[in-house]
Amino acid sequence: MKPDSVNEESIQVPETLLIVDDEAGIRRLLDRRLSREGYQCWEANTAEQALEILSATAIDLVILDVKLPGKSGIEVLPEIKTGYPDTAVIMGTVLSEMSVAVQCLKQGADDYICKPFDLDEVSLGVRRALERRSLQLQLKEYQHHLEKKVEEQTCDIRRLFLGAIESLVFALEAKDKYTGGHSRRVADMALALGSELGLSGDEMEDLRCGSLLHDIGKIAVDQRIHSKIGRLTHDEYEHIMIHAHVGARIVEPVVNDRVVEMIEHHHDHYDGSGISQVVRGGDIPLAARILAVADAFDAMTSDRPYRSAMSVKEAANEIKRCAGTHFDPVVVSAFLKTITAGVRPTRNRSVLGGVDDSHACEYGDLNGGARND
Ligand SMILES: [Fe+2]
């Protein structure tokens, strides 16, 4: 259709009318009068012909006779209103059939004019219907513009908020010389694994976002426990693990559910043996299973206050050993391929001047005296 009839550029374009009536005399009469008033007119003598013209031409308004041979005006009206919602329709009906006119209005007709036609009345009816149509189009366009604007601003606010959270993560990491650059390296590795596993563009974006924000919940962790040298007690380990849940709650208002779940479950063990774990195996979101491997790899290959970093080979062997228990075997297999291909997260991209070669967490389990927080 021709929704642009409301903007300035199209003001010069004549409005288009389709006169549908089986009586040639009436069509000609209306055509002559309305053409003189500057409208561009088409004529059809059946409903079928009217539909043909509508499918090929942008029509602003249809004058539709109720009684037509074959398909009647009442029958074709819903088809026109559904197929061409921006086209106004005025029904032509005889005065004695007011109930028909009312029925047409209920079915979406914009107005009706009575036969025999009074040309001034027709002219006025057409003008009124076109003006109403023009206002409706303007309103529609305004609403569309408004929705787009709101959507853009929501995106901007979300981006700003996410940026602030991300900065907070980096600041927290930079404050501790053992955690600088951790989230970025984890994101790099997680994306390499996601790519190896054939994740879609949207899934990769979620993975990137969740990886960068996964440790934001550490803001709620007692710093003395977080930096403790040596084995953690069960209670201390449990306390540190609240960061997954807290982190999920922090980012919940600004990220989608997939990212929230990824953060919530990033310390789940594949075999279900993790702290307060409620799902296991394939029920753990894939992104969380990927993040778990990437996170552990960075933890193991980073220095600790109480131990030196493992080599890549040692870390890879440890992750391989834990396939099926701590980690998803499919993700581990992708990880081993990635490592074999020589992919390594860059370790010299620390932000805010933080030291970029360490991590405050240690991978392992309580029995082994180690931890993965
Ligand atoms: Fe974590």
Cα 291 to ligand 1 centre (Å): 9
pLDDT digits (tens, 9 = 90+) for 9-33: 555 789 999 999 999 999 999 999 9
Cα 244 to ligand 1 centre (Å): 6
Cα 326 to ligand 1 centre (Å): 14
The span from the CA of 330 to the CA of 334, in Å, is 6
Residue identified by tokens 């040596």 is 230
Q: Which stretches of 214-322 are DSSP H helices?
A: 223-226, 234-251, 257-264, 286-300, 312-321
The reported pLDDT for the residue numbered 8 is 52
Locate 133 and state its tokens: 């149509």
Cα 266 to ligand 1 centre (Å): 7
Cα 119 to ligand 1 centre (Å): 79
Q: What is the mean pLDDT of the chain?
A: 86
Among 33-47, 241-255, 269-283, 345-359, top mean pLDDT goes to 33-47
The reported pLDDT for the residue numbered 11 is 55
Cα 219 to ligand 1 centre (Å): 11
Cα 102 to ligand 1 centre (Å): 67
The pLDDT of 99-108, averaged and rounded, is 88
β-partners of residue 40 are 16
Cα 261 to ligand 1 centre (Å): 13
Q: Are 158 and 254 in contact (CB under 8 A)?
A: yes
The reported pLDDT for the residue numbered 355 is 25
Closest CA to 66 of 28, 33, 98, 88: 98
Cα 85 to ligand 1 centre (Å): 54
The pLDDT of 356-362, averaged and rounded, is 31
Cα 135 to ligand 1 centre (Å): 56
Cα 112 to ligand 1 centre (Å): 69
Cα 292 to ligand 1 centre (Å): 8
pLDDT digits (tens, 9 = 90+) for 224-242: 888 787 788 889 989 999 9
Cα 243 to ligand 1 centre (Å): 7
CA atoms within a 13 Å half-sphere pointing along the CA-CB vector of 127: 11
Cα 194 to ligand 1 centre (Å): 18
Among 37-41, 97-101, 276-280, 304-308, which is the least confidently predicted range?
A: 304-308
The reported pLDDT for the residue numbered 329 is 98
The span from the CA of 316 to the CA of 35, in Å, is 82
Among 11-20, 78-87, 297-306, top mean pLDDT goes to 78-87
Cα 241 to ligand 1 centre (Å): 7
Cα 345 to ligand 1 centre (Å): 18
